[in-house]
Copies of this chain bind each other. A is one copy, B any other.
Amino acid sequence: MQRYFIELPEINDTLELPAAIYHHAIVVMRMKVGDYFEIVAADKKVTTMQLTKVTSNSATARVDYKFKHAVELPLQVTIACGLSKKDKADWIVQKATELGARRFIFFRGDYSIAKWDKKKQEKKLTRLKKIICAAAEQAHRVEVPTVHYAESIKNLPLKEYSNKIVAYEEAAKQGEKTALASLISKLREEKGSVTDTSLLAVFGPEGGISTAEVQYLKDNGFTLTGLGPRIMRAETAPLYLLAALSYALELA
């Protein structure tokens, strides 16, 4: 069922569709009176709505069913990525939103070739926010992840996180196998109370992460973490991490 996020604090009996939702539901999706869709309001509750009236420029729907279903990863994961070339940021946020990330930070790494100047930052973040919102709707999530820019690795908000890891290609090459399993086993023990647990995971750009950056992260409590024996592209590694966390915390 089509899902929309809405800024209202909660959904009561009826809803006049805001313009953007009217456009998508009525004009693009051609929904008619009697059709259903879902709304997620600011209270994170999912409500099934049924269209009761459609005119050429407005539409009204009424509450059909309210439910709450655990669809959020039971761990607040922030994916911090070095700036990569082309549209890689686009699809990192799309896929990682489907996989349950809560927040994205793109930072200029020592080996980043791409640059986001002031003007580009704004344009890029606007574009990424749109992609994230569409992916969150499609993935039937109740949280819309946020996205930020950081001038360097030193601008990451380290103090907000109880767990911090950096994916390190050299760790994969050297066969590092224990860090991710240790982290996950700690998280599993905390499960139940794990909802407020947060993880900041740093990934380098295509060129990797510099020795100085690794040292800075180590000095600030990050664990160097291997993600299996194969070398992954910069944009694939965050997906591996999120899928492994989902499997271990939601299914295993």
Contact = CB atoms under 8 A, between A and B. Distances in A.
A251 interface: yes
A81 to B, nearest CB: 16
A172 B147 CA distance: 27
Nearest to A140: B231
Contact of A232 (B69, B99, B229): B99
A138 interface: yes
A240 B236 CA distance: 11
A175 interface: yes
Interface in A89-138: 95, 98-100, 138
A27 interface: no
Given A236-B99, A243-B244, A247-B244, A229 B70 contact: yes
Contact of A141 (B71, B230, B241): B230
Contact of A228 (B184, B230, B239, B246): B246
A191 interface: no
Contact of A230 (B98, B247, B252): B98
Contacts of A248: 247-248, 252
B69 A230 contact: no
A228 to B, nearest CB: 5
A232 B139 contact: yes
Contacts of A243: 239-244, 247
A229 B138 contact: no
A177 B99 CA distance: 16
A154 interface: no
Contact of A181 (B228, B242, B251): B251
A85 interface: no
A10 interface: no
Given A99-B240, A239-B239, A138 B250 contact: no
A70 B177 CA distance: 12
A121 B34 CA distance: 42
Contacts of A231: 98, 138-140
A180 interface: yes
A250 B240 CA distance: 13
Contacts of A241: 243
A162 to B, nearest CB: 21
Given A95-B233, A99-B230, 4 more contacts: A69-B175, A69-B229, A242-B243, A248-B248
